Amino acid sequence: MNRLLIIGGGAAGMAAAIRAAQTNPEAQITILEGLDRVGKKILATGNGRCNLTNAYITPEHYHSQDPARLEQLLSRMDTQRTLTFFQSIGLYCMEEDMGRIYPYCKQAAMVLDILLLALQRYHIHVVCNCRVTDITASKKGFTVTAENGTTYRGDAVILTAGGRAAPKQGTSGTSYPLAVKMGHRYARLYPCLVPLQCRSNVLKGLKGIRVTCHTALYRGKQKLSEELGEIQLTDYGLSGIPALQLSCWMDNKDADYTARLDLFPDWSYDDLRSLIQQRIREFPNEPLATFLLGLIHKKILYAVCKTCSLEPLSRTAGSLSRQEMDLLVSTLKGWKFPVTGTLSWDHAQVTGGGVFLQEINDDFSSRRQPGFYLAGEVLDVAGDCGGYNLHWAWCSGMAAGEAAAQWIQ
């Protein structure tokens, strides 16, 4: 009894395989990967540089339906765990701004090369073009069946076949039926770290403009979260890291979401109002189209005026009534965009929802099926941008690998 099967050769699967081999050198470990190579997604991470963990791993950077259970699991996963793992296979890292940690050579390809070398060093068997479609458990262990009909026998199985995001990188959600087959249930799936689609008649003219602002997401009147940073305006809605982060809060497709942009985050409402009043006093005959130039992007000013129905733009600044000025200031401090949804799974970096965390033990073994383990994005955890998702994948994979290796000993 020493055969370990790992379904899915991504970040979690490779970390699981390597830690299993380090823990139990006698184990016969096989990775079954649906694509023609393992670790394809890793090459795309961090814009080709692989932001592989973060110096500040805290629960606030993660989303799950079960934050209390997530906090328990994360408490065993500090940054050092990922760094020590990579050092054990020869990769050194460095920290950049906001705690983001990258490989020292800044190449995602190097991270994958190092992982592939370790797979070879530990004699881990890799079967590519092997999309798993079924799994059964019996007293004699597990039988895993691939799309082409080939079957594989294991004494333990780790499911690391990822989520539904970025299907072009092999992850179209095939892991969930396998988990269900082993008795698991999962929280509704939704795309995370994905641009927001908004209903607005001004966005078309703003395509490509970037603006540093404070963005808050509301569900009805409740503020869900807020982000400071550079928003990219697109013809369909909002992109850029703050918009991607806010998408992780949109777990209810029927809810009424609104994004509000504060274009002057460094100024209070009253300060901005005084400044605009002063500009009007100084330049009363200046048209609306130009009276705030030097403070705000020209096209954004046009769009804000349009939103407030302050037209035509040839009107003079001095012609603004008190109510009109108040409306202008409150729009500059809280420009509302009704959010109608997000872009599709193709554009998402991670999956919200997944197998319930209550259904796994601290070592990532299943509470439904002995000898079965789950790790990585298949679980109900999605992290912010900044290395949090890969950190979860490596650490949960390592924990599952260690435990499964002991189980088959």
Ligand X SMILES: Cc1cc2nc3c(=O)[nH]c(=O)nc-3n(C[C@H](O)[C@H](O)[C@H](O)COP(=O)(O)OP(=O)(O)OC[C@H]3O[C@@H](n4cnc5c(N)ncnc54)[C@H](O)[C@@H]3O)c2cc1C
Identify residue 379 by its one-letter amino acid code: L
Taking the least distance from each CB to ligand X, the nearer of 51 and 65 is: 51
Identify residue 384 by its one-letter amino acid code: D
CB of 58 to ligand X, least distance (A): 15
Q: How far apart are CA 257 and CA 394, in angstroms?
A: 33
Maximum pairwise Cα distance, the chain: 87
CB of 329 to ligand X, least distance (A): 38
Tokens 């982000």 -> residue: 227
Q: Length of the chain in residues, anyone?
A: 409
Taking the least distance from each CB to ligand X, the nearer of 7 and 213 is: 7
Identify residue 398 by its one-letter amino acid code: M
CB of 9 to ligand X, least distance (A): 5
Quick check: 161 and 171 in contact, CB under 8 A?
yes
Return phi, psi of residue 140, to 5°: -85, 0
By CB under 6 A, name the binding residues for ligand X: 7-13, 32-35, 40-41, 44-46, 50-51, 131-132, 160-162, 165-166, 170-171, 174-175, 349-350, 376-377, 387-390, 393
Token pair belonging to 121: 């060093």
Token pair belonging to 81: 């765990």
Between the two ends of the chain, the Cα-to-Cα distance in Å is: 7
Taking the least distance from each CB to ligand X, the nearer of 51 and 247 is: 51
CB of 185 to ligand X, least distance (A): 19
Give Cα 87 to chain centroid, integer Å.
25
Q: Give the torsion through C-alpha atoms of 53, 55, 60, 65, to 10 deg.
A: 30
Quick check: 180 and 159 in contact, CB under 8 A?
no
Taking the least distance from each CB to ligand X, the nearer of 32 and 231 is: 32
Other CB atoms within a 10 A radius of the CB of residue 120 amount to 10
CB of 300 to ligand X, least distance (A): 28
CB of 337 to ligand X, least distance (A): 25
Handedness of CA 323, 325, 329, 331 (dihedral sign): positive
CB of 101 to ligand X, least distance (A): 10
**Closest residue by beta carbon to ligand X:** 10
Taking the least distance from each CB to ligand X, the nearer of 142 and 335 is: 142
Taking the least distance from each CB to ligand X, the nearer of 24 and 51 is: 51
Taking the least distance from each CB to ligand X, the nearer of 4 and 288 is: 4
